[in-house]
Amino acid sequence: MIRNRRLWVIIGLFVLCCSCKEYLDLKPYGETIPETPEEFEALLHRTLNNIDYGNDAVIIGNQSTILDYDCVTDNLDASLTILPQGNSLNLYLGEKLNGFQSNYSQLYEKIRDCNLVIENMTQKESAKGKKVLATAYTMRGICYYNLLRLFCEPYDKENENSQLGLPLVKVFDMEARPIRSSIKATAEFIEEDLKNGIGYNLTDDIYRLTVDVAKVYLMKLYFWTQNWGEVTTLGEELLKKYPLLEGEAYKDMIQSKFTRKGNVLIRSLVYGDESAESTFQLLVKYRPVSKQFIDLFVEKENDIRYELFFDKKRVVKKQLTAQVRSAEIALMLAEAYAHIPDNDKALEHLNALRAKRISNYVPYSLTTLPSDTSVGEIREDVYGKPLTPLLAAILKERQKELFLEGDRLFELKRNGCPEFWVTKDGLKYVTLKYMYTAPLSRVDVDLTPGLIQNEGYEL
């Protein structure tokens, strides 16, 4: 313990430049490394508290995150932004790329805290210790998962051993300068962390990152890395526990400002003023919903989301909420079965969700699926193949259901990284394919021998 205290004093005096290296040099908890489970717990609860108040932008996300991600997609029409009120909204993805460096450093700071807990807490077998460890493993897994989606290229199953992953920092070491692992090794490390979190079977909601939250993020990892069989196993289990809602219960869940309702497993911003509308909720009204998005609602008013999400002037009405809920589970299940392929099960889950949203719904069959296979800007699936009518129908439903929940940017990335453009003041701004993968910190690349920058950002 004396050695740890001396080490911590050294760290407190050791200040270098920012980025991934800097996260190792910050003092997260006073002058010494925490000792008791209660002290380690406090270290993590600081982050959990920020999630509750909507101040954490990188783990679950918040309203600011949603605007960062969704405003540069094909769900909203940037070319019709109302000015000058909407000037602070990013016009296209290229304007946001430098800002993602904040996500990079913040996520590695959270990883640092988790490493401190996992490596240094001694009372691991106490009841409190197990809860803290479960939270630390799950939080670290989620942080690396979010880094994977932002800073690595879309997962390529055939080249997973050579495709670039993340620098993996597994222990607290201020001298560590890891280079990038393979994307397969990155995914395996995230899987291990989430499984470790699940193993503690944390059900105490005060820790937020419960066993079910860990399971849904493990499912999301399998979905991103195209492990379709694993997706279906976890998804069927979770969907039974968190069934889909419909009608007024669904409306109440979607438009809830601060309360986790219905089948929401986790959300940010659970404290606030019910009578006030947030700055971000007001800001998004200055960017109209795109016509191609509105045209997805073929059933119009028969679809409960049609009047719930936007008005006749194409102004957003849906509440901005960073959350994870069971509709995403159902849609991941449908797509996973389509890729396996098990078309009957894929249709079963697709029709089950649509029946909850559309009145007088007539279920799709393989012969009655719409023939138009374009999904906004998406034209191909995760393997680069043309969309089938079944996959197109599933992706369209996902685009509608998860509107303004921070999902669309990653759907575009996952399915071909389509290039498209918007205009402002007579100028054309193009979202290029490489932009879907954010650049690693230039400071990290300069200071770490062998650390490879993402394509498109090399000097």
pLDDT of residue 13: 31
Residue 428 CB burial class (10 angstroms; 0-12, 13-18, ≥19):
exposed
**Residues 179, 453: contact at Cβ < 8 Å?**
no
Structure tokens at 180: 């990038």
Q: What's the pTM? A: 0.93
pLDDT of residue 31: 52
Q: For residues 58 and 104, give the distance between their C-alpha atoms in angstroms, rounded to a whole number.
A: 9
Q: For residues 267 and 295, give the distance between their C-alpha atoms in angstroms, rounded to a whole number.
A: 29
Q: Residues 60, 291, 412, CA angle at the centre, nearest 5°?
A: 40
pLDDT of residue 174: 66
| pLDDT class of 191 with cuts at 50, 70, 90 | very high
User: Per 3-state DSSP, what percentage of the chain is helix, strand, and coil (rounded to 5)?
Assistant: 50, 5, 40
Q: Which residue type is seen at 439?
A: P
Residue 8 has pLDDT above 50, yes or no: no
Instruction: Lowest mean pLDDT of 203-207, 300-304, 395-399, 438-442, name the range.
Output: 438-442
Q: Which sign does the torsion angle of CA 206, 212, 216, 222 carry?
A: positive
Name the architecture of domain 2-270+283-443: Alpha Horseshoe (1.25)
pLDDT of residue 173: 72
Q: Tens of pLDDT along 385-409?
A: 999 999 999 999 999 999 999 999 9
Cis peptide before 386 (omega within 30 of 0): no
Per-domain residue ranges of the chain: 2-270+283-443
Q: Tell me, what DSSP letter sits at residue 259?
A: -
Number of Cβ atoms within 10 Å of the Cβ of 442: 14
Q: For residues 229 and 22, give the distance between their C-alpha atoms in angstroms, rounded to a whole number.
A: 39
Q: Tens of pLDDT along 83-100?
A: 999 999 999 999 999 999
Gap between the terminal Cα atoms of the chain = 45
Q: What is the dihedral of CA 215, 219, 225, 229, to 10 degrees?
A: 120
**Mean pLDDT over the full length of the chain:** 92
